[in-house]
Amino acid sequence: MTAGRRQTLNLYIQAKGEVRLSELEELLPDVSSMTLRRDLEQLERDGEIVRTRGGAKSIAHLSMIREAAYTQRVGENLDAKMSIAAKAVQFVTPGRSLYLDAGTTAMCLAQQIPDESLFILTSAPNIALELSKNRNVRVALTGGQLNRDTLSLSGGEAMAYMEGLNIDVAFLTASAFSLESGFTVGDRSEADLKRLIVRKARTRVLLLDGSKIDRGMPYTFARLSDAEILITDGPLPPSYLKAAKQAKTTVVQANAGDEEKGKEGTA
């Protein structure tokens, strides 16, 4: 009972990043604030959170903010990203070999990856670290130069690493997506790497939060028809839905707040 409540609290805090004690009191009205305080104390000992005046913050989230401070606000669309990740994690089954892209959406997914027998390749050092918390997941990084804006590795060496490696499912993110240009990013060598992944993976899952739809960036790495699955939040414009149907791409709608149930199974 105690352990379960602590886990609930931890999940909640990890998802929100920052909470006030008063929130937690509303969330769990059956226990006193003193109990919640003691739970937070424990979670702090476990290294999951730091307690602040009036509440607590997730350490993982703090590191994320710190790391992405140079690019954009992580908080933007975080709900959307969390719910997209919640849908994506349904495509993870034990024993598979996965690829995880860089980016905050992928980071949200990394946090939700179950501790099962998996092999996961990623090009993002921060995601590799997050994944390494799982005892049963073997984590590998593509080498290469680190792009300080996207926190992504790329370059010829990163690609060389991929030869002789099999990927069952690749979870890819894009900076922008439109019908004309397909999935695009702003960096040449990152696009090269993504193209290679698209070619090597057996199943391609594209993660795309709504703010990126109907926009374009310089380099295309995939077309809609390359994606078996497209997970997005909010409603897709009709023209896009039609195109997806033609391309035989399964579109999964993730609605913020779906994290818990999410059992409609669009797989």
Partner DNA sequence: CATTACAATGTGAATCATTCACATCTTGTA
Partner DNA sequence: TACAAGATGTGAATGATTCACATTGTAATG
Q: Which is nearer to a second copy, 106 or 252 (by Cβ)?
A: 106
Binding of a second copy by 215 (CB under 8 A)? no
Query: Residue 170: beta bridge partners?
Result: 99, 204
Rounded (10°) CA dihedral 29, 35, 38, 39:
-40
Q: Which is nearer to DNA, 9 or 118 (by Cβ)?
A: 9
To a second copy, the closest distance from the beta carbon of 235 in angstroms equals 34
135 binding partner (options DNA, a second copy, none; Cβ < 5 to 8 Å by kind): a second copy
Those residues whose C-beta lies under 8 Å from the C-beta of residue 131, and which sit 6 or more positions away, are 100, 110, 113, 120, 122, 137, 139
To DNA, the closest distance from the beta carbon of 57 in angstroms equals 11
Binding of DNA by 58 (CB under 7 A)? no
Number of residues that make up the chain? 267
Determine which residue in the list 143, 210, 234, 262 makes contact with a second copy, applying CB under 8 A: 143
Residues 97 to 126 in contact with a second copy, rule: CB under 8 A:
125-126
55 binding partner (options a second copy, DNA, none; Cβ < 5 to 8 Å by kind): DNA
- Cα separations in angstroms, 59 against 18, 86, 178: 9, 20, 36
Binding of DNA by 195 (CB under 7 A)? no
To DNA, the closest distance from the beta carbon of 1 in angstroms equals 6
Residue 234 burial (C-beta neighbours within 10 Å; 0-12, 13-18, 19+): middle
x/- contact string, 56-95, with a second copy (CB under 8 A)? -x-xx-xx-xxx-x--------------------------
Binding of DNA by 71 (CB under 7 A)? no
| Matching residue, tokens 């019908």 | 179
Determine which residue in the list 25, 32, 93, 138 makes contact with a second copy, applying CB under 8 A: 138
Determine which residue in the list 72, 145, 211, 239 makes contact with a second copy, applying CB under 8 A: 145
Q: Between 33-45 and 2-16, two packed helices, what is the crossing angle to 10 degrees?
A: 70
Binding of a second copy by 192 (CB under 8 A)? no
Handedness of CA 9, 16, 153, 171 (dihedral sign): positive
To a second copy, the closest distance from the beta carbon of 246 in angstroms equals 38
- Cα separations in angstroms, 81 against 85, 119, 182, 209: 6, 23, 20, 6
Binding of a second copy by 166 (CB under 8 A)? no
Binding of a second copy by 132 (CB under 8 A)? yes
- Cα separations in angstroms, 100 against 21, 93, 108, 151, 163: 34, 14, 11, 13, 17
Residues 4 to 33 in contact with DNA, rule: CB under 7 A:
5, 21-22, 30-33
Strand 182-185 vs strand 167-173: parallel, antiparallel, or unpaired? unpaired
To DNA, the closest distance from the beta carbon of 62 in angstroms equals 17
